[in-house]
Structures are given as structure tokens and as C-alpha cells.
Amino acid sequence: MKTSELRQKDAAALAEEVKSLQKAHFNLRMQKGVQQLNNTAQLRSTRRSIARAKTILAEKQAKE
């Protein structure tokens, strides 16, 4: 998800987005563990998406 799309969401929606991204990252890690993951670049992209969403969430909480 793009940064501009994340900035349009409120804090509660961002928290849900972080939670869903973490769940997706966990599932990818499990797939990697049992050698079912073909595209290992997905791990990096989800990890960075989590960081991006957490950063924007922290910015929004600091403003409040």
C-alpha cells in the first residue's frame, strides 16, 4: 500500500492495517519454513510495509 493511501486513514484503521500486515508476514514466514514460498522478496516487502504503516501511525498519534 502506498504512503499516500496510508496517510488518508485514521489511527484505528492504521492499527488494523498493521495487524493484517503482521499476520500476512507471519504466514509468509511459515511458508518459507516449509519451503512453500516461491517469491522470498515478499518477506521484505511486507516487513517494509509494516514499518511504513507503524511510522505513519506514530506520526498521527504524536499529533493528537
What is the CATH classification number for the domain harbouring 7?
Answer: 1.10.287
The percent of residues above 90 in pLDDT, for the chain, comes to: 94
Q: How many Cα atoms are found within 13 Å in the side-chain-facing hemisphere of 12?
A: 0
pLDDT band per the 50, 70, 90 thresholds, residue 1: confident
pTM above 0.75, yes or no: yes
Query: Could you tell me the residue range of the domain that residue 44 belongs to?
Result: 3-63
pLDDT digits (tens, 9 = 90+) for 25-46: 999 999 999 999 999 999 999 9
Q: What gap in Å lies between CA 27 and CA 29, rounded to an integer?
A: 5
Q: How many domains does the chain have?
A: 1
Q: Is the pLDDT of residue 48 over 90?
A: yes
